[in-house]
Structure 1
Amino acid sequence: MKLLFTQDALVNAGAERSHLEILSRFSKEIEVAFVYFYPKHDLKQEYEKAGIRLIFLEIPESYHFRLAVTRLVKTIRKEKPDLLVSSLWRADIITRIASVITGVPLVGTLVNDSYAPIAWKDKRGLKYKMVYWLDRLTARIPKHWIANAQALAESHEKTLGLDKNKISVVYRGRSIPDNSHLDVIASEARQSPKGFHDKSVNQLNSKSVDKDISEKGNRDSESHLEDNENEERGFGNEGTVENSKNIEMEVKRRDTPSEKYHQNQDSSFNAFHFISYGRLLERKGFQDAIHAFSKVLKKYPNCTLTIYGEGPYRSDLEILITSLGLTDHVKLPGKFGSGGSHSYREENEIATPSLRSARNDATTILLENDCFLFPSWYEGFSGALVEAMMAGIPIIASNISMNLEAISPKTALIFEFQNRKQLANQMIFAIEHPGLTADLGKAAREEAIARFDIEKIAKDYEALLFEIKNN
Structure 2
Amino acid sequence: MTDTIKVAHIIESLGRGGAERVLVTNLAHIDQRRFENHVIYLFDGEDFLPDLEALGIQSYSLGMRDFYDWRGFWRLRRTLKTIAPDIVHTVLQKADIYGRVAAASAGLRPILSTLHECPYNPEVFIDNPALNRFKYGVFKRLDRSSARWCSDGFLVASKNTQNTLRQYFGVNDSRVRLLYNSIDLDRFDGGGEAEVDRIKRELGITKDDVVLLNIARLAPQKGQRYLIQAMVDVCRALPNAKLIIRGEGPLRSDLNALVHSLGLEGKVLVPNQYGSPEEVIALLRLCDLFVFPSLYEGFGVVLAEAMALGKPCIASNTGPIPEVVQDGGSGVLVEPMDPGALARAILGLVADPAAMRAMGRAGRKIVEQTFDILQTVKQLEAIYEEFAVRAAEH
TM-score with structure 1 length normalisation? 0.75
Residue of structure 2 in register with 1:392 after alignment: 310
**C-alpha distance in 1 between matches for 2:310 and 2:257:** 32
Whether 1:151 and 2:160 are equivalent positions in the alignment is yes
The percentage of aligned residue pairs carrying the same residue is 28
Range with bigger deviation, 457-466 or 303-312: 457-466
Whether 1:118 and 2:123 are equivalent positions in the alignment is yes
Aligned residues: 368
**C-alpha distance in 2 between matches for 1:390 and 1:149:** 19
**C-alpha distance in 1 between matches for 2:300 and 2:275:** 21
Counterpart residue identity of residue 179, structure 2: V
Whether 1:20 and 2:28 are equivalent positions in the alignment is no
SS at match of 2:113: strand
Whether 1:165 and 2:174 are equivalent positions in the alignment is yes
Cα offsets for 1:14-67 (capped at 9, x unmatched)? 1011111011211020000000121222222222223322111222234313x1
What displacement does 1:177 show?
4.8
SS at match of 1:113: coil
Cα offsets for 1:348-367 (capped at 9, x unmatched)? xxxxxxxxxxx933322211
Counterpart residue identity of residue 435, structure 1: A
Q: Which runs of 5+ in 1 are unaligned?
A: 189-266, 339-358
Residue of structure 2 in register with 1:209 after alignment: none
Residue of structure 2 in register with 1:30 after alignment: 35
Residue of structure 2 in register with 1:227 after alignment: none
Counterpart residue identity of residue 9, structure 2: F
**C-alpha distance in 1 between matches for 2:123 and 2:37:** 36
Residue of structure 2 in register with 1:59 after alignment: 64
**C-alpha distance in 2 between matches for 1:361 and 1:179:** 12
Q: Which runs of 5+ in 2 are unaligned?
A: 198-204
**C-alpha distance in 1 between matches for 2:133 and 2:270:** 34
Residue of structure 2 in register with 1:9 after alignment: 13
**C-alpha distance in 2 between matches for 1:274 and 1:300:** 12
**C-alpha distance in 1 between matches for 2:253 and 2:233:** 22
**C-alpha distance in 2 between matches for 1:60 and 1:286:** 29
**C-alpha distance in 2 between matches for 1:59 and 1:11:** 14
Residue of structure 1 in register with 2:279 after alignment: 361
1:405-444 alignment runs, 5 A limit = 405-408=323-326, 409-444=328-363
**C-alpha distance in 1 between matches for 2:275 and 2:133:** 39
1:191-230 alignment runs, 5 A limit = none
**C-alpha distance in 2 between matches for 1:43 and 1:167:** 28
- Larger RCO (CA under 8 A, 6+ residues apart): 1
Whether 1:103 and 2:95 are equivalent positions in the alignment is no
Equivalent of 1:325 in 263, 285, 303: 263
Counterpart residue identity of residue 163, structure 1: N
Change (3 A) 1:418 1:56: same
Residue of structure 1 in register with 2:209 after alignment: 271
Cα offsets for 1:61-120 (capped at 9, x unmatched)? 34313x122111211221111010111122111111112211112101111231011114
Whether 1:73 and 2:77 are equivalent positions in the alignment is yes
Change (3 A) 1:42 1:179: closer
SS at match of 2:104: helix
What displacement does 1:124 show?
5.8
Whether 1:138 and 2:119 are equivalent positions in the alignment is no
Name the Cα RMSD after superposition. 2.1
**C-alpha distance in 2 between matches for 1:124 and 1:280:** 19
Range with bigger deviation, 34-43 or 14-23: 34-43
**4+ runs deviating over 4 angstroms:** 121-124, 177-181
Counterpart residue identity of residue 398, structure 1: S
SS at match of 2:270: strand
Cα offsets for 1:132-153 (capped at 9, x unmatched)? 1111121111000001111011
What displacement does 1:425 show?
0.3
Residue of structure 2 in register with 1:308 after alignment: 246
SS at match of 2:95: helix
Whether 1:296 and 2:234 are equivalent positions in the alignment is yes
**C-alpha distance in 2 between matches for 1:438 and 1:180:** 17
What displacement does 1:179 show?
6.8
Cα offsets for 1:360-382 (capped at 9, x unmatched)? 33322211111111111111111
**C-alpha distance in 2 between matches for 1:268 and 1:104:** 57
**C-alpha distance in 2 between matches for 1:29 and 1:283:** 39
Check conservation: 2:188, 2:281, Cα contact below 8 A. Answer: no
Equivalent of 2:296 in 355, 374, 378: 378
**C-alpha distance in 2 between matches for 1:52 and 1:289:** 40
TM-score with structure 2 length normalisation? 0.89
Residue of structure 1 in register with 2:51 after alignment: 46
1:78-89 alignment runs, 5 A limit = 78-89=82-93
**C-alpha distance in 2 between matches for 1:422 and 1:299:** 14
Whether 1:401 and 2:339 are equivalent positions in the alignment is no
Residue of structure 2 in register with 1:462 after alignment: 381
Whether 1:93 and 2:11 are equivalent positions in the alignment is no
Counterpart residue identity of residue 92, structure 1: D
Cα offsets for 1:163-187 (capped at 9, x unmatched)? 1211111011112258779x99xxx
Residue of structure 1 in register with 2:201 after alignment: none
**C-alpha distance in 2 between matches for 1:396 and 1:268:** 23
Change (3 A) 1:104 1:178: closer
Check conservation: 1:24, 1:51, Cα contact below 8 A. Answer: no
